Structure 1
Amino acid sequence: MDMPGVTTYQPLAKLPLSYQVIPGNLDIILRCRKGDRQGLKRINTCHRSYDPLHYILMFLTGCDGWHLGLNRTDNKKLTAADFYKSRRQIRHEDFNIVFKGKKLSQQYAVDQRVKVEAERLDWVMIFMRLS
């Protein structure tokens, strides 16, 4: 792929061999370079910045994604399934980037479904340990 004005390619991320990568894990690994937070930082799927970091082209403003601290109006926990159902609603008065991304939107939908199923499986595992 030729890009005008680009003569060399730089890696987007580097992972040291000693850093553990779990197969099937969807976490994002960031390399922090400024301030006192230098080094690697793991952003898991329950972090509020996971969606804007993973789908930079869809969430240019960096709006928060689903995270464990979200509550509904009745102060009950907002599940990932409910959050992403709301994101996928068609609202004629608002522009929704989720429907305009073509293949990126398809990947987003699949990843969010995986996140919802992982949350449900985690709940089952916790429930089984308690009983």
Structure 2
Amino acid sequence: MSHEFTCRVYYEDTDLAGIVYYANYFKFIERARSEWVRAAGIDQKQLKDESGIVFAVRQVHADYLKPAAFDDILRVETALNTLTPARIVLSQAIWREEMQLFDSTVTLVCLDETGRPKRLPADICRRLQA
């Protein structure tokens, strides 16, 4: 089961060649991850305030397959690969209609407010797996 997030490419997302600047793909997948967590019924601000838990990107493997351009409508698909109480591994892909433009694997870790590893509560793990 995957989560879908749709966004439009704005002029500010592009470079001089009129294609999406490579770093902006990370913005698109970040927004999609935030919406994936929200769709699971998790309020990240509340999680931080009540449990002191935040998510941080530990590793990203990215493959740029085809360029996106100004005014494209993109679909970001997010799927859970692996979940442990301290680590989340996601597959994220960006599509324009039926053409895949970008593929990534993102590893998130759970940290406390001081940056130390912290385990996710069991109910949060269940929500993310649902």
TM-score of the pair, normalised by structure 1:
0.27
Greater RCO structure (CA 8 Å; 6+ sep):
2
Greater fraction helix: 1
Greater fraction strand: 2
Asked which structure has the greater CA Rg, the reply is: 1
TM-score of the pair, normalised by structure 2:
0.28
